[in-house]
Amino acid sequence: MRLQKYLAHAGVASRRKSERLIEEGRVKINGEIVRSLGTKIERNTDIIEVDGRIVEIEENKIYIKMNKPSEVITSAKDQFNRKTVLDLLSIEERVYPIGRLDYHSRGLLLLTNDGEFANLLMHPKYHVPKTYRVLIAGVPPEGKIEAFENGLMIEGVKTQKAKMVIKNVDQKLNQTLVEITLFEGRNRQIRKMCDRIDHPVIDLKRIAIGTIKLGNLKEGEWSHLRKDEINSIVNLLNNGPTGHSNIGGV
């Protein structure tokens, strides 16, 4: 196996970022710094280190979905000692979140120790849809919904096409519940887009990632993905823009 592929499988970073780590001299094989991207390793005999830490591929693949509460950090640890999503788990295996939900956002979050699966799911070329139930201030007119869906300039870059569907209007409180689907994942993107059309977010909850749905999980609860859920998202990736993703189901 090539070194950069091993690092990606181990969840260190994407293949491209793993290549940068190698070129920067941060990776060792059996105690020796390696800078060649073509280097091949033997998983069962070679010792791989990144920044002095031994890196191993987890043989027991774990796939978890969680209903992340508000005011919980999507991270392994937090410098301010705030609660993280890993604090909600009760498993021995080391896993990490796939993507992020910001501190005040709620809903579906996936976690795994399968680095290749995580990197493919986050890769922009697959355009994996993510669906959110969002409560916004005011009632957006058709023109603003159309602008939202066709793309908005956020921090100098136009967003990809999206979808916004009105689910309920509360005239008394002057609030609207909408369902938003994105095909990219920029930092605080929905909040910034809603601010851009002058209908700021009051509450945000992710309800689906590709074919995986939040379902009946209560806030703070989690469960292992079922085989059919894993296979459904693998099929989605395998049928993406490249035609295949080189990963298999279970």
Rounded Cα–Cα distance for residues 35 and 231 (Å):
36
Q: What's residue 140's pLDDT?
A: 97
pTM, two decimal places? 0.77
What percent of the chain clears pLDDT 90, i.e. is strictly above it?
66
Q: What's residue 242's pLDDT?
A: 44
CB atoms within 10 A of CB 225: 19
Q: What's residue 250's pLDDT?
A: 54
Q: Show the tokens assigned to 181.
A: 């689907």
∠ CA 190-192-193 to the nearest 5 degrees?
Answer: 65
Q: What is the pLDDT of residues 35-47, one digit of tens each?
A: 998 899 987 789 9
pLDDT (mean) for 189-217: 97
Q: Show the tokens assigned to 94.
A: 């080391």
Which residue ranges does the chain devote to CATH 3.30.70.580? Answer: 63-125+215-238
| CATH T-level fold of 129-209 | Alpha-Beta Plaits (3.30.70)
| CATH T-level fold of 3-54 | 3.10.290
Q: What is the pLDDT of residues 61-99, one digit of tens each?
A: 899 999 999 999 998 888 888 999 999 998 888 898 998
Assess whether 102 carries a catalytic annotation.
yes
> Is 125 within 8 Å of 119 (Cβ atoms)?
no
Helix axes 227-238, 115-122, angle to 10 degrees: 50
Match domain 63-125+215-238 to its CATH number in 3.30.70.580, 3.40.50.1110, 3.40.47.10, 3.30.420.40. 3.30.70.580
Q: How confident is the model at residue 245 (pLDDT cuts 50, 70, 90)?
A: very low
> Is 135 within 8 Å of 164 (Cβ atoms)?
no
Which residue ranges does the chain devote to CATH 3.30.70.1560? Answer: 129-209
Q: How confident is the model at residue 104 (pLDDT cuts 50, 70, 90)?
A: very high
Rounded Cα–Cα distance for residues 20 and 147 (Å):
38
Ramachandran area for residue 230 (φ above 0: left; ψ -120 to 50: alpha; else beta): alpha
Q: What is the pLDDT of residues 110-164, one digit of tens each?
A: 999 888 888 888 887 788 999 999 999 999 999 999 999 999 999 999 999 999 9
Of the residues 102, 170, 198, 203, which is catalytic? 102
Q: What's residue 102's pLDDT?
A: 93
Cα distances (angstroms) measured from residue 249 to each of 65, 81, 158, 245: 17, 37, 35, 11
HSE-up (13 A, CA, CB side) for residue 145 = 16
* H or E segment to which residue 33 belongs: strand 32-33
Rounded Cα–Cα distance for residues 139 and 175 (Å):
6
Which residue ranges does the chain devote to CATH 3.10.290.10? Answer: 3-54
Q: What's residue 120's pLDDT?
A: 83
pLDDT (mean) for 219-236: 92
> Is 132 within 8 Å of 107 (Cβ atoms)?
yes
Residue 214 has pLDDT above 90, yes or no: yes
